[in-house]
Chains A and B, each alone.
Chain A
Amino acid sequence: MNDDRLHTFRGWLDGGEPSRFAPFFASRVMQRIEAEGSRNGLESIDAALRWGFLRVATAAVVLAIAVGAYNVMEPGNLGVYTSTLESVLGLPSQSLETLFLLSGA
C-alpha cells in the first residue's frame, strides 16, 4: 500500500527539476573551510600566548615570594627594617636627611 503511494509521488517528483544549490557551491564551502582554518590558526596562537603568560606569571610570583622570604630571613637584615613590608621588599626607610645626602644636594 505504502509502496504504491510512494511510487506515485516519486513519479510526480521526477517530473520536476532536480534540487540543486546555486552555482559555485563547492567554492563557497571551500572558502568557509579556509576561513575556519585561519580562525583556528589565530585561536591556537592566542592559546599559546595565554599558556606562555601563565607559566611566566607563575614563575615570577614564585621568584617574588622567594626573594621576599630571603629578605625577611637574612640574618644581616635583622633590625634594619622598621616594618614587615619594608623587610619583605628589602627597602629600608630613608630619612629626608639621608636622601639629601644621597642626591648630593
Chain B
Amino acid sequence: MQGPTSERKRAAAQPTDEELLDAARRGDDAAFRQLVERYEGRVAATVIGMLGNGEEAEDAGQETFIRFYRSLDRFRGESSIATYLTRIAINQSLDAIKRRRRWTKRFVSRDEEEVVLAEPMYDATEEISARERAELVRGAIQTLKADHRSVVVLRMIEGYSTRETAEILGLPVGTVTSRLSRALDKLESVLDPLVREA
C-alpha cells in the first residue's frame, strides 16, 4: 500500500512542464509525448465540447498538438501551456465547423438540415439519470452557433473566467458576456423541461 509520502515523492519525480518543453525543443520526442499525455484531457474537453465526440474532434485534437509541436520554438510561455493549447484547439474546432458548414451547404438540402435540428432531444415524461442529463446538455451545446459555443465551452466546460475567455478568443469582455447570456438563453429553451424540473 502506498501512502501520501510515496505519492508526494512520485509527484516530485515527475518533470515539470518547463523541463519537458526544454527537452522537446532539443528534439526529445519522448518528452513531447509526455506533454501530449498530460494535456490530452484538456484538449479533448475543448474539441469534443465544440464538435461532439467523433472523428472531427479526434482530428482537431491531433492537429492541435501537431501545431504546438511546430511552434515549440516560438512558445515563450507568456500564457500557460493549457491556455495556449486551448487557444489552438478552439481555432481548430472553429475551422472544422466552417468546413462542416461548407460541406453541409454543398451536399445536404436545407429541408434535411431543418429536420435534424427540429428533432426533439428527449422525452420530457421520462426520468433521466445524471449521465443522460449531462449528455443532453452536451447535445444542446452542439445546437449553439459556433461563436456562442466557443464562449460556453471555455466558460462552462473549461472553467475559464470571462476575462480569460475574452483573451483566448481575442474579444472584448462585453462581447463575451453578451454571447454567454444569449447562449445560456438558447440552452434554457432547448432544455426547457429539464430547467423547469430543476
Contact = CB atoms under 8 A, between A and B. Distances in A.
16 contacts: A2-B180, A5-B187, A9-B156, A9-B184, A9-B187, A12-B134, A13-B156, A15-B131, A15-B134, A16-B134, A17-B131, A19-B49, A25-B40, A26-B33, A26-B40, A30-B32
Given A33-B66, A33-B69, A6 B138 contact: no
B117 interface: no
Given A6-B180, A9-B187, A12-B133, A30 B36 contact: yes
Interface in A1-59: 1-2, 5-6, 8-10, 12-22, 25-26, 28-30, 32-34, 36
Interface of B: 29, 32-33, 36-37, 40-41, 44-45, 48-49, 53, 57-58, 61-62, 65-66, 69, 129-131, 133-138, 155-157, 159, 177, 180-181, 184, 187-188, 194-195, 198
Interface of B, helix, strand, loop or mixed by DSSP: helix
Contacts of B49: 19
B156 A21 contact: no
Given A9-B156, A16-B135, A26-B40, A21 B130 contact: no
Contacts of B48: 19-20
A29 B85 CA distance: 14
Contacts of B58: 21-22, 25, 28
A18 B45 contact: yes
Contacts, number: 95
B130 A15 contact: yes
Contacts of B131: 15-17
Interface residues on chain A, size class: 20 to 34
B66 A26 contact: no
A5 B32 CA distance: 38
CB-CB nearest 5 A-B residue pairs: A16-B134, A15-B130, A19-B48, A26-B36, A5-B184
Nearest to B40: A25
A20 B41 contact: yes
Contacts of B37: 26
A21 B40 contact: yes
B133 A6 contact: no
B29 A33 contact: yes
B36 A14 contact: no
Contacts of B177: 2
Nearest to B36: A26
Given A13-B157, A26-B33, A36-B66, A21 B61 contact: yes
Nearest to A4: B184
Contact of A5 (B29, B40, B188): B188
A19 B53 contact: yes
